[in-house]
């Protein structure tokens, strides 16, 4: 293929960090010499770093292969056909997919028009069969904080089942409920390395929970699938904690690029930027325009279709952050589509 006809592809579907974290790249390259060896089954070194960094006991930490893996293992160890899961919608669809695969009943609590979550509606939805309440905070796709710690404590006090808070975007906001772990045995927190830390391709994530829950996970996945997290992922995740000033700089660079991207797109007439505390940007269109994802695809830009989300307005575009040098091309492409269809 010649340079002239090479198709541009800018993939903005998943809200990834568009740049790699260089200390992680170096760590992976070094570790590549040892891929003939199995990874450490107990993931102790990484757990030590996380424990120190978060000031959380090691026995409250489990490492698995991404939050996707965390959802699966936590749902599966408590699965039975009679149990319900309360899920505010729209939200990250994998919770519903995994719950359905495991035959849970799903009770959806629709978000309000302004995307806020009515906590009383959540509490009223609880029944004897409710095993989990899941809250993605801040939420994908609405970009907002759904719950504060005061309201979370109200739920934790009034509910005997387990509350999962998905904090995959924590590194971008600094807001967390981790301090509640010591007081509530029914709180489970998920954190990831895929967004702020830029390790989406390596599949690694964290479960923080009460010691008994972590023990239960260790007795299942930790035993039957003990090599589930590979050694490259472990070294890359450790590099995040071994290079904290660079990690902060990497996250700040991402936030700056996101800002620049949103400022640029806001110059297009008929587009309003909505606040998003996540790794993707939200743009509201004054006029509904059909098939924007398809039209952008023809220009080599891939964005997520809003159809994957239940109850999400179709005049909002969900777009990941491009590289700095791609912003102008994405801006020109969106502008052309909005102006000329």
Ligand X SMILES: Cc1ncc(COP(=O)(O)O)c(C=O)c1O
Q: Which stretch binds ligand X (CB under 6 A): 24-32, 61-69, 75-83, 321-329?
A: 61-69
Of 59, 72, 48, nearest in space to 237 by CA: 48
Stretch in the footprint of ligand X (CB under 6 A) among 28-36, 60-68, 212-220, 253-261: 60-68
Give alpha helix (H) positions in the chain: 22-31, 44-54, 66-77, 94-101, 119-125, 149-158, 170-173, 211-224, 231-242, 244-265, 292-297, 327-340
Please pick, from the candidates 161, 192, 198, 320, the single residue that binds ligand X as defined by CB under 6 A.
192
Asked whether the beta carbons of 10 and 329 are under 8 A apart, the reply is yes
What phi and psi values does residue 29 have, to the nearest 5 degrees? -60, -45
Which residue in 10, 56, 61, 67 binds ligand X (CB under 6 A)?
67
What does the per-residue mask of binding to ligand X show for 116-145, with x meaning CB under 6 A? --------------------x---x-----
Say whether residue 66 binds ligand X (CB under 6 A). Answer: yes
| Shorter beta-carbon distance to ligand X: residue 92 or 184 | 92
Question: Counting contacts by CB under 6 A, is residue 175 touching ligand X?
Answer: no
Q: How many CB atoms are located within 10 Å of the residue 261 CB?
A: 25
Q: Which of 274, 244, 239, 236 is nearest to 171 (CA)?
A: 244
Contact status: 153 vs ligand X (CB under 6 A) = no
Among 21, 62, 92, 309, binds ligand X (CB under 6 A): 92
Question: Which CB sits closer to ligand X, 186 or 194?
Answer: 194
Report the alpha-carbon distance of residue 192 to residue 166 in Å, rounded: 9
Element (H, E) at 86: strand 84-89
CB of 136 to ligand X, least distance (A): 4
> Across the strands, what pairs with 165?
135, 189
Q: How far is the CB of 194 from ligand X (least distance, A)?
A: 3
Residue number with the smallest Cβ distance to ligand X: 66
Min separation Cβ 207 and ligand X, Å: 11
Q: Which stretch binds ligand X (CB under 6 A): 24-32, 53-61, 63-71, 298-306?
A: 63-71
Task: List the one residue out of 190, 218, 236, 239 whose CA is nearest residue 42.
Answer: 218
Residue with tokens 């700040």: 252
Which residue is listed with tokens 């994908």?
A: 140
Site for ligand X in 301-320 (CB under 6 A): none
Q: Return the structure tokens found at 57.
A: 């006991």
Q: How far apart are CA 191 and CA 172, in angstroms?
A: 12
- Report the nearest approach of ligand X to the CB of residue 5 (Å): 33
- Interface residues for ligand X in 2-31 (CB under 6 A)? 14-15
To ligand X, the closest distance from the beta carbon of 318 in angstroms equals 10
133 touches 109 (CB < 8 A):
no
Binding region for ligand X (CB under 6 A) out of 3-11, 50-58, 66-74, 240-248: 66-74
Smallest gap from residue 197 Cβ to ligand X (A): 10
Structure tokens at 335: 């502008």
Distance CA 56, CA 79 (A): 27
- Alpha carbons 84 and 128: distance in angstroms, whole number: 9
Judged by CB under 6 A, the residue of 54, 84, 96, 166 near ligand X is 166
In the complex, least distance from residue 165 CB atom to ligand X, rounded to whole angstroms:
11
For ligand X, the closer of residues 49 and 329 by Cβ is 49
Closest distance between ligand X and the C-beta of residue 66, in Å? 3
Of the candidates 32, 49, 41, the one whose C-alpha atom is nearest the C-alpha of residue 197 is 49
Which of residues 180, 200, 271, 302 is near ligand X by CB under 6 A?
Answer: 200
Contact set with ligand X (CB under 6 A): 14-15, 66-68, 92, 136, 140, 166, 168, 192, 194, 200, 205
């Amino acid at each position: 293929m010649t340079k002239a006809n090479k198709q541009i592809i800018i993939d903005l579907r998943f809200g990834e960090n568009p740049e790699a974290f260089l200390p992680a790249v170096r760590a992976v390259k070094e570790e590549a010499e040892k891929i003939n060896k199995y990874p450490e089954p107990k993931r102790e070194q990484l757990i030590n770093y996380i424990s120190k960094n978060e000031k959380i006991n090691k026995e409250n930490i489990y490492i698995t292969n991404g939050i996707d893996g965390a959802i699966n293992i936590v749902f599966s160890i408590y699965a039975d056909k009679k149990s319900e899961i309360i899920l505010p919608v729209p939200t990250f669809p994998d919770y519903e997919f995994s719950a359905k695969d495991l035959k849970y009943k799903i009770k959806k609590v629709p978000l309000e028009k302004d995307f806020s979550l009515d906590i009383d509606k959540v509490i009223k939805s609880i029944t004897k069969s409710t095993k989990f309440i899941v809250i993605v905070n801040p939420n994908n796709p609405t970009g907002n904080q759904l719950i504060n710690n005061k309201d979370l404590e109200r739920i934790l006090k009034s509910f005997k089942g387990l509350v999962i808070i998905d904090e995959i975007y924590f590194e971008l906001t600094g807001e967390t409920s981790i301090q509640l772990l010591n007081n509530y045995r029914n709180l489970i927190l998920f954190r990831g390395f895929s967004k702020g830390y830029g390790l989406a391709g390596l599949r690694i994530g964290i479960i923080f929970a009460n010691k008994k829950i972590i023990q239960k996970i260790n007795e299942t996945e930790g035993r039957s699938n003990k090599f589930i997290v590979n050694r490259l992922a472990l070294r890359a995740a450790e590099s995040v904690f071994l290079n904290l000033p660079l990690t902060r700089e990497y996250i700040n660079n991402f936030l700056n690029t996101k800002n620049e991207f949103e400022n640029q797109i806001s110059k297009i007439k008929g587009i309003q930027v909505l606040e998003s505390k996540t790794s993707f940007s939200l743009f509201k269109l004054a006029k509904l325009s059909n098939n924007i994802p398809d039209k952008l695809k023809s220009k080599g830009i891939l964005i997520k279709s809003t159809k994957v989300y239940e109850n999400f307005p179709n005049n909002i575009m969900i777009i990941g952050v491009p590289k700095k040098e791609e912003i102008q091309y994405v801006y020109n492409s969106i502008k052309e589509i909005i102006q000329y269809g």
